[in-house]
Amino acid sequence: MTSPWTIGIIGGSGLYAIEGLEDAQWIAIDSPWGKPSDEVLCGRIGDVRVRFLPRHGRGHPVAPGSLNSRANIDALKRAGCTDILAISAVGSLREEIEPGRFAVVEQFIDQTKGRAASFFGDGFVTHVSMADPVCARLSDMVAKAIAAAKGKLATGATYVAIEGPQFSTRAESQMYREWGADVIGMTALPEARLAREAELPYALVGMTTDYDCWREGEDVDVAQVVAQMQLNGKLARDAIAGFIAALPAEREPSPIDFALEDAVITAPDQHDPAVLAKLDAVAGRLLNPE
């Protein structure tokens, strides 16, 4: 059964607002998982509902390791999102992905430490598949939008997520290249995992700002990153506008809409009511079937 689109956009470093949003208002959304990074900017572009969340908050007060990704994803689910397009600043681990090029991510390597990575645990044990961690449909549509906006594009990228907030050492940067990673960042995990648990198709576009430090004589500093983010920002906004404008009039169901099917392993008589209460949005389709 088709349905309308409600696109959640998670803006990373350098993307703190959405242009052309009609009837826009910032709305505070309470989450049982804690405080989201910011209020959610709700509005529409044409007939498409849009929900924008600045990942680090307006003005960038929230550090990568302090992000409450559970609250962020839960808030977007409560805001009615059907799909999520995430934008992140990334470093490049490949010569051919130069600063200014946009990389559509296909796979992830997780090197984060100690971040809450799941909505599920004791009382409602659930295992979702992450073999293909992004939505191929969304990724293809956003790649076409970037190309239409005349952006330089790389597809099929593997993203290694590090804890930060420090940039990587040269030895680490070389190691990640040997592992097959193409871009490096600090925020896409556990965000992508949580979106899958919330049955939200997720696509990630990396805006390349630098070459990390694997190249001889290369280093990374914030001034360099910020300068490139500013150059990337307009094209990112143009690509988002094109992506939304090109969406089909009606949304066909995605297999990711049913990611929790057959994923719960805890017997019904062992479900913890307190845990279920926190999952009212994330797993609402499963817990409250119509």
Those residues whose C-beta lies under 8 Å from the C-beta of residue 16, and which sit 6 or more positions away, are 54, 58, 59, 60
The Cα 283–Cα 249 span in angstroms is 26
Torsion of CA 130, 133, 135, 136, to 10 degrees: -110
210 in catalytic set: yes
User: For the chain, where are the alpha helices, taking DSSP H only?
Assistant: 69-78, 136-148, 170-179, 188-197, 222-245, 273-278, 284-287
User: For 91-187, where are the alpha helices, taking DSSP H only?
Assistant: 136-148, 170-179
DSSP state at residue 282:
T
Residue 170 is which amino acid? Answer: R
212 in catalytic set: yes
Of 74, 212, 221, 257, the active-site residue reads 212
Of 23, 140, 210, 221, the active-site residue reads 210
Residues with catalytic roles? 210, 212
